[in-house]
Amino acid sequence: MKNLLFSLLFVALLLGCKSTPEETSQPEPAPVEEASANFERGISYYESYDFHQAISEYTEAIRKDPAMASAHINRGNVHSGRLEHEKALADYLAGARLDGSYDHYARGYFLLMAKEYRAAIEEFTQAILRNNNIVAAYNDRGMAYAHLGNYDMAIADYNEAIARNPNSVFPFNNRGNAFYMQANYDSAIEDFSRAIQLFPEMALPYSGRGMSHFKKKDYDPAIEDLTKAIALRPGEASFYTSRGNAYSAKGERSLAADDFATARNLRN
């Protein structure tokens, strides 16, 4: 389950100005004001899980106001959630150049991707001390702690991230992983279920919940969840291995053998 802890960043940072409706008699808004409107629409699309449109709106905001650091950071969050880490890092670095309060966060993200977890924790901590509105820093610091096996500290950071943004899928999924590693399968199932409710098209929570059911010897719901994970991400070998283990535990050896063979083929 450790390698299910992808660097999945998760929160749209609400740092822009709230635009107000224009009267028809007022002049056309200046480009910077238009950029703020694009920024607000980007947040709305992000929270509706329309990530493609969110990227489009943030990109338009940046075109109209190249100095808008928050648009770079938000677009980086969307890219990271789509596992487009190089694009995410480019946006975080751009945001850091425009606003120094993001500098530690950008370095922490780079170190997390480089698996320099202790150094990443130091940078995320500095980012939080300088600007505690960078909510993704809590989630990412939690991931670094989890990679080091410090699940209590990881859960504490995920708790903080959830308290600040209870409608974001990533900290629920990551906290579910941490509970799983602590053999707290009921809490893991609860968190994975919340993540699925928030974002039903994301494969990882189904896999995590399926593995938690498997650990509880509830093989039918395990198979059901792992089958859904496979449908959403058919190229992930570990999902077939997990479902094969569940079939094997049920005595369905033929189905298990098929899944193990598929997993081997995907790894080759």
pLDDT for 189: 98
Number of helical H runs and strand E runs in the chain: 14, 0
pLDDT for 260: 98
127, 134 contact by CB (below 8 A): yes
pLDDT for 12: 35
Note whether residue 178 is domain-resident.
no
Note whether residue 112 is domain-resident.
yes
pLDDT for 11: 34
Note whether residue 231 is domain-resident.
yes
Q: Which pLDDT tens digit goes with each residue over 70-123?
A: 899 889 878 877 778 788 889 988 988 998 878 898 889 889 988 999 999 999
CB proximity list for 263: less than 8 A, separation 6 or greater: 237, 238, 240, 241, 244
2, 143 contact by CB (below 8 A): no
- Domain range for 19 is 1-170
Same domain, 64 and 165: yes
Note whether residue 86 is domain-resident.
yes
pLDDT for 9: 39
pLDDT for 253: 97
Same domain, 15 and 148: yes
Note whether residue 177 is domain-resident.
no
pLDDT for 30: 59
What CA dihedral angle connects 153, 69, 80 and 201, to 10 degrees?
A: 100
CATH number, domain at 31? 1.25.40.10
pLDDT for 48: 66
Note whether residue 216 is domain-resident.
yes
Beta strands in 58-217 (DSSP E): none
pLDDT for 160: 95
Q: Residue 26 burial by CB count (10 A; 0-12/13-18/19+): exposed, middle or buried?
A: exposed
Same domain, 41 and 116: yes
Q: Which of 170, 192, 221 is the last residue of a domain?
A: 170
Same domain, 202 and 123: no
pLDDT under 70: residue ranges of the chain: 1-30, 47-48
Tokens of 3: 């390698």
Same domain, 215 and 115: no
Same domain, 191 and 124: no
Same domain, 237 and 152: no
Number of domains in the chain: 2
Tokens of 185: 């399968």
